[in-house]
Amino acid sequence: MLMVESDHALARLPYNRERRVLVIGGMRRLADRLRRDGWAVDLRRAPTLFAGVMAHATEEQPDRLVVAHPTSRSGLALVRSLADALPVPVEVREPVGFITRPGELDEILGKRAPRMDTFYRDMRRRLDILVDSHGDPVGGAWSMDKENRKPPPRTRDLGAPAPWLPPADDPLDASLRREFAPLPEVGEGGERVMAADTDEAEAALDRFIEARLAGFGPHEDAMMDDDWAMAHSLLSGPLNLGLLSPERVARRVADALGDGAPIASVEGFVRQVIGWREYVWGWYWKRTWRDANALGAEAPVPAALWGGTTRMRCVQVAMDGIHRRGYSHHIQRLMVLGTLMLLRGTEPWAATRWFQAAHVDGSAWVMAPNVIGMALYADGGQMMTKPYAASGAYINRMSNHCRSCPYDPKSATGPDACPFTTLYWDFLDRHRERLGQNPRMSLSMRNLEKRQDIPAIRARAREVMAALDTGVD
């Protein structure tokens, strides 16, 4: 077994230290386990992955190279380069960690419009998960979103049982943090919260199903000042590393119905694993992403996300989680950090690279479609039917952040106006022509036409944008 730690890959982006700890720690733990199981393991450090493989081939003279299908286009290009350079065959097997294969999204959907809900229903029927003998949804509905989009309770935290977490004094984690300290990074690190080997992953899955699944659904889209984990599973990292099978995870969660788990929580989680996760994986291979910029966005990533200061409480909370753990949950990513970049007009590829660097689970295949196609609408509506643009009203409804924030989510103008609210109306104003043609934006555009303060909003938006760019908002 050949495993290469690439200097180039480690320094390609200013990764959060906890991402390096998770990925490299996972490799070293796997190497140790394979050796205990009798494998001959060559775990080596090299300037690049290509150089590491070529050096191994020169030294060991293998008769073939067997690899799993890479999860990124750059990885696939590397495999093709190796196939051209090596004097032995390169055998590419199925990707690890997914139910569908690259290119299968179009096969599943056929001539139907690429919509996640359609794909999700097909996946449930195909896998026989949460469907009855007639192929109809268990519980009478394909989606329990209405039950799963409640605002947070008026308490300091959700009160969910604690998630599985690794030991805070894990010696390998501590050693890796010291090793990677000289490298540029987003955040400061210090708290690994995701499993890095199969035993840890199984323990994290067990803990989620037994203690936290029941509370997952109702508030899965909510955000709280004092509860970074709420009832989320924290399984994205081990799933992305191939430590857990997504189909097995979905089946175990579905089986929890028989043990009394609420259908809304079970369906909400299964939707994320076999629905959205596989749909995004399919979309990654469906098109290239790097040059997508339908809205002509050119601004840099807001300075507060690179370590600058901000008074926006929702951004403070999300960034605190990223600085400490390399983690923010999916609504913080989409409706706080992603929406802020959408409304500001952040250049899509710069935004994507930031999300990849900042999050422990920031794989290329998931960040490109999620950031460019979903959060920033930079593909012009191919993946999503409308932009996920929202004002401070959404954050006020789905979080308790606004109670301790100096900005007023109801105000679009003036020094106390919420930057999200100001930029929301300015975003609609800037893109009147494009968004006015979208039927799903008709209500928002009618409300825009009713406003009498557009000149003041434009002026305030310029101030907000300057503050975001300099980190003094």
Residue 81, exposed/middle/buried by CB under 10 A (0-12, 13-18, 19+)?
middle
All structural domains of the chain with their residue ranges = 2-93, 104-286, 303-470
CATH code of domain 303-470:
1.10.579.10
- 106-112 contact pairs (CB < 8 A, 24+): 106/282, 106/286, 108/282
The yes-or-no verdict on residue 350 having pLDDT over 70 is: yes
Give me the percent of the chain exceeding a pLDDT of 90.
97
The yes-or-no verdict on residue 473 having pLDDT over 70 is: no
Instruction: Please tell me the distance from the alpha carbon of residue 246 to that of residue 268, in angstroms, as a whole number.
Output: 15
Q: Tens of pLDDT along 393-424?
A: 999 999 999 999 999 999 999 999 999 999 99
pLDDT category at 471 given cuts 50, 70, 90 is confident
* Mean pLDDT, residues 267-295 taken together: 97
Q: What is the pLDDT of residue 148?
A: 94
Residue with tokens 């029927």: 125
Instruction: Please tell me the distance from the alpha carbon of residue 1 to that of residue 445, in angstroms, as a whole number.
Output: 58
The yes-or-no verdict on residue 273 having pLDDT over 70 is: yes
The yes-or-no verdict on residue 162 having pLDDT over 70 is: yes
* Mean pLDDT, residues 438-450 taken together: 96
Q: Which of 46, 15, 13, 12 is nearest to 2 (CA)?
A: 46
The CATH architecture assigned to 104-286 reads Alpha Horseshoe (1.25)
Fold match flag (2-93 vs 104-286): no
The yes-or-no verdict on residue 188 having pLDDT over 90 is: no
Q: Tens of pLDDT along 73-128?
A: 999 999 999 999 999 999 999 999 999 999 999 999 998 989 999 999 999 999 99
* Mean pLDDT, residues 207-235 taken together: 97
* Mean pLDDT, residues 24-30 taken together: 98
Angle at 116 between CA 110 and CA 118, to 5 degrees: 50
The yes-or-no verdict on residue 147 having pLDDT over 90 is: yes
Mean pLDDT of the chain: 96
* Mean pLDDT, residues 285-290 taken together: 96
The CATH class of the 2-93 domain is: alpha beta
Q: Tens of pLDDT along 117-129?
A: 999 999 999 999 9
pLDDT category at 365 given cuts 50, 70, 90 is very high
